Amino acid sequence: MTQVRETVSFKAGDVILYPGVPGPRDRAYRVLEGLVRLEAVDEEGNALTLRLVRPGGFFGEEALFGQERIYFAEAATDVRLEPLPENPDPELLKDLAQHLSQGLAEAYRRIERLATQRLKNRMAAALLELSETPLAHEEEGKVVLKATHDELAAAVGSVRETVTKVIGELAREGYIRSGYGKIQLLDLKGLKELAESRGQGR
């Protein structure tokens, strides 16, 4: 017997799920290809990244449990998704629980960074996180990220103007090279050290 796997595709920038109480057509998804960004957006349109969902990961799980969704799910790259059945089998439930457990650990780290780290150190952490997603590729042996300053501001919970300053500082100090809508990571070791420390003056 062959099993046909239902898949759906979205283009980079598409909104996949909106905040609100899940309706009957709402689904939970597993990411097969690409990157999905879960984000909160305030009244002025400023986005804040809540979680990045990479291939193998799940999102939209609140539809399975009748819980309210408090985020937008956006395709950060072109994505291919597998909608989950309404009543997942035990194996799928275990995969989902495992992924949510990992997602919680990532959220805890984000909470810790926001409460204790300076922006420059949070930015180093965000760049390293993005470097392990489909937004990153290699050029001449260096990791290059596709990311605008708005997207970086959303990743660290700040605003573009401030982020532009911090990116400039990281570039002057040789950690990165910043180009139009992309960032080249020059010093991964140095970025890791920044990401693991709190930062000065706090």
Q: Does the protein bind its own copies through residue 171 (CB under 8 A)?
A: no
Stretch 17-46 residues interacting with its own copies (CB under 8 A): 38, 40, 42
Stretches 3-11, 58-66, 167-175, 178-186: which one binds its own copies (CB under 8 A)? 58-66
- List 50, 53, 170, 191, residue binding its own copies (CB under 8 A): 50
By CB under 8 A, residue 62 contacts its own copies: yes
Nearer to its own copies, 36 or 185 (CB): 36
Does residue 8 touch its own copies according to CB under 8 A? Answer: no
59 is written with which tokens?
Answer: 């999102």
Residue 116 lies near its own copies (rule: CB under 8 A)? yes
Q: Does 197 bind its own copies (CB under 8 A)?
A: no
Neighbour count for residue 137 (Cβ, 10 Å): 11
- Amino acid identity of residue 183, one-letter, is I
Q: Is 150 among the residues that bind its own copies (CB under 8 A)?
A: no
How far is CA 193 from each of CA 121, 136, 155, rounded to the nearest angstrom? 9, 20, 19
User: Which candidate, 157, 50, 56, 156, places its Cα nearest to that of 98?
Assistant: 56
Residues 154, 118: Cα–Cα separation, whole Å: 15
Is 58 or 143 the residue whose CB approaches its own copies more closely? Answer: 58
Residue 48 CB coordination number (10 Å): 17
SS3 letters for 115-151?
HHCCHHHHHHHHHHHHCCCCCEEEECCEEEEECCHHH
Stretch that binds its own copies, among 62-70, 126-134, 171-179, 186-194 (CB under 8 A): 62-70
For residues 147 and 163, give the distance between their C-alpha atoms in angstroms, rounded to a whole number: 12
Q: Which amino acid makes up residue 3?
A: Q
For its own copies, the binding residue among 56, 85, 114, 132 (CB under 8 A) is 114
Please identify, using beta-carbon distances, which residue of 12 and 159 lies nearer to its own copies.
Answer: 159
Q: Which residues bind its own copies (CB under 8 A)?
A: 38, 40, 42, 48, 50-51, 61-62, 64-65, 67-68, 70-71, 90, 93-94, 96-98, 100-105, 107-112, 114-116, 157-158
